[in-house]
Amino acid sequence: MPVVVIANPKGGVGKTTLATNVAGYFASQGHAVMLGDADRQQSSRLWLGLRPAAARPIATWDVNADLIVKPPKGTTHVVLDTPGGLHGWRFNDVIKLADKVIVPLQPSIFDIFATRAFLDQLAEHRSAGKVQVGIVGMRVDSRTIAADKLRSFVEGLGLPVLGYVRDTQNYIHLAARGLTLFDVAPSRLEKDLEQWAGICRWLEQ
């Protein structure tokens, strides 16, 4: 049972956007998915409450900021949305559970350096073969200098960039209805789905 953790100690970088869409992707593949929310803001849980009954089911995994437990039996895929400021024993608990960690990272010098120590920790766990780690550039155009700088920085750590997610209102409009890119007709979101192709391939490895 793969457990995919979405983590970055910095707030406001797009963790919940990634977590909900990863869960939506797994659900679109017919998996029994649970989405956990260890953030005190409970944004992912709020999103689940908006999800229409007709959409592919995504179950709630009852976790909280102070207690992260193993997911219940019967689940085939788990996604965990984590809080900003993740460190110490909470970080260790999450890494013990995780098979894969996705780090959303915006291409600003402030975001990059605020996340540096966290990425160094993850790189150590990756080198030890404990977990797979990938970076997703958030709110970025892959053709820009900012994207090049982000790519150079991450490659220096030995971590792969899985893809770049553009700054678009599509995510906001879908989230407001409890939906993801993978819940609507592909023809409406071709550009966004193209950006997710590399992320999806990595999730299936």
pLDDT digits (tens, 9 = 90+) for 88-133: 667 777 778 889 999 999 888 888 888 888 888 887 877 767 789 9
The model's confidence at residue 161, banded by pLDDT at 50, 70 and 90, is confident
The CA distance from 123 to 52, in Å, is 38
Contact present, 6 and 99 (Cβ < 8 Å): no
pLDDT tens by residue, 40-67: 778 888 999 999 999 999 998 766 545 5
How is 51-83 classified by DSSP, letter by letter?
--TTSPPEEEE--BTTB--PPPTT-SEEEEE--
Which of these CATH numbers, 3.40.50.980, 3.40.50.2300, 1.10.3720.10, 3.40.50.300, describes 3-204? Answer: 3.40.50.300
Domain spans in the chain, listed from the N-terminal domain onward: 3-204
The contacts of residue 201 (CB under 8 Å, 6+ apart) are none
Average pLDDT over residues 171-186: 96
